[in-house]
Structure 1
Amino acid sequence: MGQSLSDEQWRLIEPHIPVYPGGRPRTTDLRDVVDAVFYILRTGCQWRYLPKDFPPKSTVWRYFDEWRHNGTLDTIHDLLRKKVRTQEKPYAPRTTASVDSQSVDTTSGGEQRGRDNAKNVDGRKRHIVVDSLGLLLAVLVTAASVDDAQAAQELFPRLEGQPVGKVVRMYADSKYHNFALYAWVEDNARWDLVIVRRPEGSKGWVKLPIRWTVERTFAWLGTCRRLTKDREESVMSAEAFIKLAMIHLMLNRLEPKYADPEFQYHKAA
């Protein structure tokens, strides 16, 4: 089976995967492990059905579990985001961001599940903050029954340490029109929460100005079959696969695989 990552893409992330001294010599190629995780992300394959071309599923899971706990995925994600931002908007600090949620069905089992009656979904809800390029700044996964404005008070603190020092406006839709949330923003944030409302009398889906950037990010996530439903036992894994999807996307924006038409839209976007 061919490599999921090109040599150029692997060089972008290899230095940031921790290698611990001591112990027995490593026999597993970490590039094969990363390729296996991306294979699961892209195809929706269950861990136990990982093709034999890859390392054993127990080995791949062990590294995935380690990287989601020790900050490796966060480090790689944030470094790639900085490179993409520098390449596509050099010398332009972020001044705006957008927040939104997406309710998705879950497979059976797992923690934090609920029903979003408005969307007729039984499962979980993904809450994200993105910048004007659609790049991820924060993510939170909850039960689908959790109110968006309530979740935002847990999501927004995750912006701590992220490059949002110049952000002055956070765009949101009418789901975030909530006085408790306004009070939280007033007390804790340096930016203003701006509600972008649908045109009066409109029905069905409407492309709202500015808001389309976060909706496009959800569309990007949807190209990964692992994310078409929430298939994870834990919300930590659910959040980790969202970050992996963004890592995959950014690798292909920085080092596009022009031979693979699946990736060309990322460059066009």
Structure 2
Amino acid sequence: MLECSVWMAGQSSSVTRGCDCLAHRFGNAADNGSRQPRYPSDMTDAEWAVVRPLLPVPGWMRGRGGQPEAYCHRAILDAIRYMVDNGIKWRAMPADFPPWDRVYAFFRRWRDHGLATEFHDRLRGQVRVRAGRDSEPTAAVIDSQSVKADAVVGVDSRGFDGGKLINGRKRHLVVDTFGLLLGVMVTAADIGDRTGAKVLLQRVADAHHRLELVWADGGYTGSLVGHCLAALALVLQVVKRSDGQKGFVVLPKRWIVERTNAWLMRTRRLARDYERRTTSAEAMAYWSMTLLMTRRLARPHPQPA
């Protein structure tokens, strides 16, 4: 039986000889060497204890074909976390991680099969339950964020946001009342908020059947309000600034999604859009939020007085 490592307070732990990931237990990861922790983005043992039961089971273990994986899942997750957190190129992956093409193949497989979203959603449910809420939300907040696009982004998926004066892409976000992602859609920056919201809210409503109320800013007025009620059974409530307000004012509910935008921008890969595909840009947002949630879940749970 494999021996598990012991976590100590303040210790950042990565792959050890006693790693209990599926690739070590049932695959060929034992044929490759382990790595020592070096980076702030590496999972601690407390984080890994949370993550390990929530990981999707690989296809080769479910009889769906494919070779047993040769690299530790924990090492690959740490590599993706490092890339998202530090904004490096795939080919610039540090040598102590698995080869960059294997890490990218793992990222691409999870992106194309919806596994990154599945993993993210399981973590979000755990965060909500730990906070004393139901795993599925009944209220949400929607907003968009325009970011500059790198030169690799093609003209077919980029545009100019005249309001923000940004040439790039736009992230349309729906978050719960904790600021955790319920859905993200990346479009060209010239796509209007209402146009993007119509598609994204349909996806979110299909995935979260208990959702009843969505708060939004003044950019979501008009026919979208009636469409949400008639087609999606959602109440879209617009939170507007008072006519007499001047300067920056924190508005009820809207600050929640603004904080989520700030969380995403803290991971350097998302400070600018570097992805050739919009699906990759969406996956990066989900991976960014997993860093936040695993760290929250790894904290000692406060005991009631």
Pairwise same-fold verdict (TM > 0.5): yes
Task: Tell me, yes or no, if the aligned pair for 2:205 and 2:232 is still in contact at 8 Å.
Answer: no
1:137 Cα deviation (Å)?
Answer: 0.7
**2:37 is matched by which residue type in structure 1?**
G
**1:231 is matched by which residue type in structure 2?**
Y
1:6 Cα deviation (Å)?
Answer: 1.4
Q: How many residues matched?
A: 255
What residue in structure 2 maps to residue 176 of structure 1? 220
What residue in structure 2 maps to residue 66 of structure 1? 109
What residue in structure 2 maps to residue 140 of structure 1? 185
What residue in structure 2 maps to residue 129 of structure 1? 174
1:201 Cα deviation (Å)?
Answer: 3.8
Equivalent runs, 1:40-189 vs 2, <5 Å: 40-90=83-133, 94-111=137-154, 112-165=157-210, 167-179=211-223, 181-189=224-232
Distance 2:117 2:87 in 1: 22
1:25 Cα deviation (Å)?
Answer: 4.9
Which of residues 18, 26, 31 in structure 1 aligns to 2:57?
Answer: 18
% identity of equivalent residues: 38
Distance 2:123 2:284 in 1: 16
Deviations, residues 76-119 of structure 1 (Å, cap 9, x unaligned):
11111111001113359633211000000010122410000110
CA pair 117-93 structure 1, distance change in 2 beyond 3 A: same
Task: Tell me, yes or no, if the aligned pair for 2:126 and 2:135 is still in contact at 8 Å.
Answer: no
| Structure label with greater radius of gyration | 2
Is the deviation greater in 183-192 or in 235-244?
183-192
Distance 2:45 2:92 in 1: 26
Task: Tell me, yes or no, if the aligned pair for 1:230 and 1:238 is still in contact at 8 Å.
Answer: yes
Q: Which has the higher contact order (CA 8 A, sep 6+)?
A: 1
State yes or no: 1:198 paired with 2:236.
Answer: no
**2:47 is matched by which residue type in structure 1?**
Q
**2:238 is matched by which residue type in structure 1?**
I
CA pair 122-189 structure 1, distance change in 2 beyond 3 A: same
The alignment's TM-score, normalised by the length of structure 1, stands at: 0.88
Give the secondary-structure state (helix, strand or coil) at the position aligned to 1:126. strand
1:23 Cα deviation (Å)?
Answer: 6.0
Task: Tell me, yes or no, if the aligned pair for 1:18 and 1:72 is still in contact at 8 Å.
Answer: no
Is the deviation greater in 69-78 or in 114-123?
69-78
Deviations, residues 183-238 of structure 1 (Å, cap 9, x unaligned):
32132122211111112143443311111111111111111011111111110000
Distance 2:226 2:71 in 1: 51
Distance 2:83 2:274 in 1: 11
Extract unaligned runs of 5+ from structure 2: 1-35, 301-305
Is the deviation greater in 25-34 or in 74-83?
25-34
Deviations, residues 44-63 of structure 1 (Å, cap 9, x unaligned):
01111111011111110000
CA pair 27-120 structure 1, distance change in 2 beyond 3 A: same
CA pair 200-18 structure 1, distance change in 2 beyond 3 A: same
Report the aligned-residue RMSD: 1.9
State yes or no: 1:5 paired with 2:43.
Answer: yes
Distance 1:230 1:83 in 2: 29
The alignment's TM-score, normalised by the length of structure 2, stands at: 0.78
Distance 2:230 2:153 in 1: 35
Deviations, residues 10-51 of structure 1 (Å, cap 9, x unaligned):
233334233314765532111111101000010001111111
Give the secondary-structure state (helix, strand or coil) at the position aligned to 1:137. strand
Is the deviation greater in 153-162 or in 30-39?
153-162
Task: Tell me, yes or no, if the aligned pair for 2:125 and 2:136 is still in contact at 8 Å.
Answer: no
Distance 1:59 1:18 in 2: 18
Distance 2:152 2:199 in 1: 24
**2:218 is matched by which residue type in structure 1?**
S
CA pair 52-192 structure 1, distance change in 2 beyond 3 A: same
**1:168 is matched by which residue type in structure 2?**
E
CA pair 91-18 structure 1, distance change in 2 beyond 3 A: closer
